[in-house]
Amino acid sequence: MRTTLDPKVALVTGASSGIGRATALALSKAGATVAVGGRRTERLTALAQEAPGEMLVLDMDVSDPESVRKAVDTTVERFGTLDIVVNNAGVMLTGPVLGADPTEWTRMVETNLLGSMYTVHSALPHLLRSHGTVVQISSTSGRVSSVGAAVYSATKFGINAFTEALRQEVTEQGVRVVVVEPGFVSTELADHITDPAGRAVAKSMAESMRTLQPEDIAAAVVYAVTQPDHVAVNEILVRPTDQSR
Interface positions with ligand NDP (CB under 6 A): 13-20, 38-40, 60-63, 88-92, 111-112, 137, 139, 182, 184-185, 187-189
Residue 70 beta carbon to ligand NDP: minimum distance, rounded to whole angstroms: 13
Give the shortest CB-204-to-ligand NDP separation in angstroms: 14
Catalytic residue among 5, 27, 75, 152: 152
- The whole-angstrom separation of Cα 238 and Cα 90 is 18
Q: How many residues does the chain have?
A: 245
Give the C-alpha separation, 124 to 118, whole Å: 10
Nearer to ligand NDP (CB atom), residue 128 or residue 206: 206
223 is catalytic: no
DSSP letters spanning the chain: ---TTTT-EEEEESTTSHHHHHHHHHHHHTT-EEEEEES-HHHHHHHHHH-SS-EEEEE--TTSHHHHHHHHHHHHHHHS---EEEE---------STT--HHHHHHHIIIIIIHHHHHHHHHHHHHHHHT-EEEEE--GGGT---TT-HHHHHHHHHHHHHHHHHHHHHGGGT-EEEEEEE--B-SSGGGG--SHHHHHHHHHHHHHS--B-HHHHHHHHHHHHTS-TT----EEEE--TT---
- For residue 160, the minimal CB distance to ligand NDP (Å) is 12
Smallest separation, CB 182 to ligand NDP (Å):
4
11 vs 130, beta carbon nearer ligand NDP: 11
- For the bound state, the minimum distance from the C-beta of residue 51 to ligand NDP, rounded and expressed in Å, comes to 15
Between 62 and 201, CB nearer to ligand NDP: 62
Nearer to ligand NDP, 18 or 130 (CB): 18
Q: Among all residues, which ones are annotated catalytic?
A: 152
